[in-house]
Amino acid sequence: MQHSHLKVDLLMSRFSPRVQAIVDSITSFAGMVLVALLAWRSFLEALAVKQLNIVSSLIKIPAFPFYYVVALGFVVLCLVTATQVIQYIEKAVKG
């Protein structure tokens, strides 16, 4: 919620708000790309698990729905990160 988990305040506080917004834009974009890759690979893994008919060893329920939930979670996280990127870019442009 506070967006403080990705930056080092000691270093970032020395920069102007515009430079801080630019750095935040770049790091958020990199995070968004990483999460998008995780979503894509999770979706492919879910397809593979479904095709192989993998089930849990104890109660024999299919595993693929849980893989889809993980992929969906990454998609949602990617969308949240994309909105953060847009907010930081707007802040950088306004200066």
Q: Is 85:32 a contact under the CB 8 Å cutoff?
A: yes
How do the domains of the chain map onto residue ranges? 16-94
- What own/partner pairs with CB < 8 Å and gap ≥ 24 does 32-41 have? 32/78, 32/81, 32/82, 32/84, 32/85, 35/74, 35/77, 35/78, 35/81, 36/74, 36/78, 38/74, 39/71, 39/74, 39/75, 39/77, 39/78
pLDDT for the residue numbered 79: 97
Kindly report which listed range (5-9, 20-24, 62-66, 80-84) carries the lowest average pLDDT score: 5-9
Tokens standing for 24? 């935040």
Q: Which has the higher per-residue pLDDT, 5 or 11? A: 11
Q: Which has the higher per-residue pLDDT, 69 or 11? A: 69
